[in-house]
Structure 1
Amino acid sequence: MAIISLEYYSEVLGMNREVKVIYPEQNKVENFTGKEIPVLYLLHGMSGNENSWINRSGIDRLIRKTNLAIVMPSTDLGFYINTTYGMNYFDAIALELPKVIHNFFPNLSTKREKNFIAGLSMGGYGAFRLALGTNTFSYAASLSGVLTFNGMEEHFDDNPAYWGGLFGTMENFKGSENEILPLAARFEGERPKLYAWCGKQDLLYSGNEYVANELKKMNYDLTYETADGIHEWYYWTRKIETVFEWLPINYIKEERAF
């Protein structure tokens, strides 16, 4: 596969942005046609950027025989939303970036059934927020995602400048388009298939349990898994392979060297 660094000007954000793209290579992928290539948008967590998945997971090696392109953008610490301070990261990724990517890589599919999204921690929230806030992605996966702020209200009080800059007050956040469960309840159209995983020793475990149960009550097609684990890359690098196996692609798994 090829790893490509793409710098482009975002009209939405009013600045240059960089995105990493993993592009499948014809001589590595069996029955490669080079047309309508499936695309996974893969999102980083807090403190990460567009390089995190490549640097921390070895993901490029994991998919080198699979016909899948991976697009890795960055929203800094912006939680993949349109913030109250005017940085519209949601619009930049949900609406603008797919057009930018297709302009540079016209062989990547624009069909909903071949566009997927996944992420870890903040990016797990982002994956569900983007999938449930658009009709762009047919599959969405969260690894240790921040899927609810129930029980985390003190964060808004401890750092009001940051959290308020993102979501406003907790009162503004509750029931808004940025809260996953109300967003899921209002979703219209063909629902995306969802996957969530969280370690049992993770600080976000109880929140994931709650959201998973509520999504199942809404009859979402959700695959929810747990196991022993904390909020750490060791687990995410392994569970991303489970996501590949879950996606409707012909994932060719390779033996790990680590």
Structure 2
Amino acid sequence: MALMSITYYSQVMDLDLSVQVLYPDKGRVDNPDDTDIPVLYLLHGMGGRDTTWLRLTSLERLVRKTNLIVVMPDTHNGWYVNTQYGYPYFDALAIEMPDVLKRFFPNMTDKREKTFIAGLSMGGYGAMRLALATNCFSHVASLSGALSFKGFDPRKESLGSPAYWTGTFGEITDWESPENPHSLINLAKKADKTTKMYIWCGEQDFLLPANNFAAQAFKELGYEVDYQTAPGRHEWYYWDKQLEVVLSWLPIDFQLEERLS
């Protein structure tokens, strides 16, 4: 894969944003002149950035023979929402970034059925939010995603100050309420039920109750949800292993390098 690091001016944010892009190499894929290449947006978690998936997983090795564009944006700790402090991360990713990338990569698909999104932890939440709010993605995957705040209050878990959470989401009176700003359920009620979901969470992960709650809620709303749990914590060791599962789950010709039997 060709690796491209792009810095561009975001009019929506009024600042420079960075994005890493893996692009299929001619000579390694079967159809290098494809004019409708599938795309996967891959979102980082809290404390991460656009290079984190590249640095801490086998991503580049896994997709090196697959006709797939992988886009890894940098959205700081903004939770992929239009924050209360004035940085509209959601608009920057959902509206502006696809148009920016299309200018750089005219062969990138603009078809919903070939456009996918995935993320981990905060990025799992962001992937679900973008998929449900835009109807631009046919498949969405969440690894250890903060899919609700069922069972814990992040303000009490040393995950940022109260001012940080208020600045991101606004005042919150009831973190357990399905009406709170973090809830994806209301978005899911209005979204296209053909969106396919893959959700994974480790059994020792503090976000397991949140994932159990969200996966069941999505199923009850009529979504096709592949929900998996296994022994694991909130760590990259498990997300790296799950990345191959996600790539195999997507409707692409995933060309993993052959292994000796």
- SS of 1:62's equivalent in the other structure is helix
Distance (whole Å) between structure 1 residues aligned to residue 51 and residue 255 of structure 2: 23
Q: Deviations over 1:102-155 (max 9, x none)?
A: 010000001111110000000000000000010111111000000001222361
Distance (whole Å) between structure 2 residues aligned to residue 18 and residue 249 of structure 1: 26
Q: How many residues align?
A: 256
Distance (whole Å) between structure 1 residues aligned to residue 19 and residue 143 of structure 2: 21
List gaps (5 residues or longer) in structure 1.
none
Quote the residue 2:25 is aligned against. 25
Q: Write the mapping of 1:4-83 to structure 2, written as runs, cut at 5 A.
A: 4-83=4-83
Is 2:152 the partner of 1:152?
A: yes
Distance (whole Å) between structure 1 residues aligned to residue 35 and residue 43 of structure 2: 24
Answer with 151-160 or 89-98: which moved more.
151-160
CA apart distance, 1:227: 0.5
Answer with 46-55 or 31-40: which moved more.
31-40
TM-score normalised according to structure 2 size: 0.93
Moved over 3 A (4+): 171-174
Q: Do the aligned partners of 1:26 and 1:34 also contact (CA within 8 Å) in 2?
A: no
TM-score normalised according to structure 1 size: 0.94
Q: Write the mapping of 1:34-183 to structure 2, written as runs, cut at 5 A.
A: 34-153=34-153, 155=155, 159-171=161-173, 174=177, 175=179, 178-183=182-187
Quote the residue 2:248 is aligned against. 245
Q: Do the aligned partners of 2:44 and 2:50 also contact (CA within 8 Å) in 1?
A: yes
CA apart distance, 1:255: 5.5
List gaps (5 residues or longer) in structure 2.
none
Quote the residue 2:230 is aligned against. 227
Quote the residue 2:211 is aligned against. 208
Q: Deviations over 1:183-204 (max 9, x none)?
A: 11122x4531111000000110
